[in-house]
């Protein structure tokens, strides 16, 4: 029977460095499945430059918390054994696991090497601002703690095309590594002229040994962990042609249902479209445009035109490729892409991703369980649980929009015959209290509907034409569903 699918980003930026996150995943799997979550996006599980690293300062992709490297065996989140047990626990509950994989760069090299570079302008990476000269860079990776187990591949300066630090002088900058046929990759986002370089030692996907090694690693990781898909980090900086080949190769190895979602952090819909064309629309992307719409709406209040919410968004134009989200680890307060959606608007934003027909919604662990750090926030479990319940039980069938007012909008889901009592009416406003006259189907005449969120206490009775006035309080959302005979 068809059921809605819902993902959870199962981490936030400031999780404690206690090594227990994989254990928490196992403990919470049953509860989250009960709430309607059937996929976890988990944080990067590979050994990083330090144990405190959240996973994006990747050192060794073959160390999942198994070897004594970088000061510990475990990662911030736990050991390899705990990771595998956590994934098994998820699978027992019918929860798919999408692993966050970092393939753009490497950090924390074992030794330095001397090689020739030119410095480029940070604002235009095509503009060379120095003569060629030698630097001492951290590019030699041979993983002495692992001793060749799982892979004997070692990395040298020629496997990278950029770095940002000269150990000999202490100088920082963006240094393009020189060598035969060595340039920035052409098939990347064109911000700053060419956005191949992001951080640390930048992997050169023009190098045949690199391509072969990363294909091997991708297959090894999925086979080792039994994960169900990948969240690809920072793909606007990685050779898009390689990404297309990588998707195809992983699916040949692990099946067509091996899932991919990419972090292509760009609010410009045209840039997302160009990337999707590279990969023949064979990957989903996080809907960054919609996230920024939520951010703007939460700060503008009643001045934001709610009718425009889905204009120029991925879910609006390419719904089959859109993973919708409200916030994530990067948009948290004080983080690199800070754009935190104000708390008053969070229920509206979550209704907009959870209760509509299009998009694959992703609930943020930090919104559900709270975030730590310099600006801690309490979790919104009591707000999210009713919306998750509405998605799991009621939000099915064809959709009719009532986007006819700049402040108060609504929509109806008509339900599916195979799902008794399914169907819902959603109304929200960023302004004053009001109502929306909406029709849920003449076959529902006489039914009594109530607001599942509890924001509006009065019930409504569907009239002979299948319509009713669905009320909403100011600056809030209400989700109306049919009262069952047991509830009447």
E-assigned strand segments in 93-200: 96-101, 105-106, 111-121, 124-128, 133-140, 160-166, 171-177
Element (H, E) at 478: strand 477-482
Q: Determine phi and psi for 246, rounding to 5 degrees.
A: -65, -45
Q: How far apart are CA 136 and CA 375, in angstroms?
A: 39
SS3 9: strand
Phi-psi sector, 239: left (phi>0), alpha (psi -120 to 50), beta:
beta
Asked if 478 contacts 427 with a C-beta cutoff of 8 angstroms, the reply is: yes
Q: In terms of C-beta distances under 8 Å and separation of at least 24 residues, what long-range contacts does 14-17 make, across chains too?
A: 14/332, 14/371, 14/372, 14/373, 15/43, 15/54, 15/76, 15/77, 15/372, 16/372, 17/51, 17/52, 17/76
Q: Which residue has the tokens 């920082």?
A: 172
Q: Find the catalytic residue in 100, 119, 166, 233.
A: 233
Please say if 263 is a catalytic residue.
Answer: yes
Please say if 60 is a catalytic residue.
Answer: no
196 is in an annotated binding site: yes
237 is in an annotated binding site: yes
Asked if 264 contacts 272 with a C-beta cutoff of 8 angstroms, the reply is: yes
- Report which of 306, 290, 312, 296 is spatially closest to residue 405, judged by C-alpha positions: 306
Q: Report CA torsion sign: 225, 231, 236, 241.
A: positive
Question: For residues 348, 350, 352 and 358, what is the CA-based torsion angle, rounded to 10 degrees?
Answer: 180
Q: Find the catalytic residue in 263, 327, 335, 389.
A: 263
- Residues flagged as binding site for Ca(2+): 104, 196, 204, 237
Residues in binding site? 104, 196, 204, 237
Active site (catalytic) residues: 233, 263
């Amino acid at each position: 029977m068809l059921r809605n699918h819902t993902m959870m980003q199962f981490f936030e930026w400031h999780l404690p460095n206690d090594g227990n996150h994989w254990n928490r995943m196992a403990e919470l799997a049953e509860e989250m499945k009960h709430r309607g979550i059937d996929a976890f996006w988990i944080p990067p599980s590979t050994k990083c430059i330090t144990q405190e690293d959240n996973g994006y300062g990747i050192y060794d992709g073959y160390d999942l918390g198994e070897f004594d490297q970088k000061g510990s065996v475990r990662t911030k989140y736990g050991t390899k054994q705990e990771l595998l047990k956590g994934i098994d626990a998820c699978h027992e509950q019918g929860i798919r696991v999408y692993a966050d994989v970092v393939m753009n760069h490497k950090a924390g090299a074992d030794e330095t090497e001397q090689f020739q570079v030119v410095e480029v302008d940070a604002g235009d990476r095509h503009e060379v601002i120095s003569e060629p000269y030698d630097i001492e860079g951290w590019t030699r990776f041979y993983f002495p703690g692992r001793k060749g187990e799982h892979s004997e591949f070692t990395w040298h300066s020629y496997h990278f095309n950029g770095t940002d630090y000269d150990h000999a002088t202490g100088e920082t900058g963006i240094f393009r590594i020189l060598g035969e046929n060595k340039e920035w990759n052409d098939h990347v986002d064109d911000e700053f002229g060419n956005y191949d370089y992001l951080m640390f030692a930048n992997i050169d996907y023009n190098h045949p040994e690199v391509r072969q090694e990363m294909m091997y690693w991708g297959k090894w990781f999925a086979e080792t962990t039994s994960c169900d898909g990948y969240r690809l980090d920072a793909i606007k900086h990685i050779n898009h042609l390689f990404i297309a080949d990588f998707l195809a190769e992983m699916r040949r190895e692990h099946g067509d249902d091996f899932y991919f979602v990419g972090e292509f952090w760009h609010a410009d819909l045209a840039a997302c479209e160009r990337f999707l064309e590279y990969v023949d629309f064979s990957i989903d992307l996080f809907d960054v445009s919609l996230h920024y719409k939520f951010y703007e709406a939460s700060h503008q209040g009643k001045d934001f035109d709610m009718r425009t919410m889905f204009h120029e968004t991925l879910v609006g134009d390419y719904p089959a490729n859109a993973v919708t989200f409200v916030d994530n680890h990067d948009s948290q307060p004080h983080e690199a892409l800070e754009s935190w959606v104000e708390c008053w608007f969070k229920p509206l934003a979550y209704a907009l991703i959870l209760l509509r027909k299009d998009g694959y919604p992703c609930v943020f662990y930090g919104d559900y369980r709270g975030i730590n750090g310099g600006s801690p926030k309490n979790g919104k479990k009591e707000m999210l649980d009713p919306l998750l319940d509405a998605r799991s039980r009621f939000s099915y069938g064809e959709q009719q929009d009532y986007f006819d007012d700049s402040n108060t909008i609504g929509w109806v889901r008509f339900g599916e015959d195979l799902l008794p009592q399914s169907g819902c009416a959603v109304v929200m406003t960023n302004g004053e209290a009001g109502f929306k006259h909406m029709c849920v189907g003449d076959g529902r005449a006489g039914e009594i509907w109530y607001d599942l969120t509890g924001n509006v206490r009065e019930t409504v009775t569907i009239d002979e034409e299948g319509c009713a006035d669905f009320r909403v309080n100011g600056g809030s959302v209400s989700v109306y569903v049919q009262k069952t005979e047991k509830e009447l």
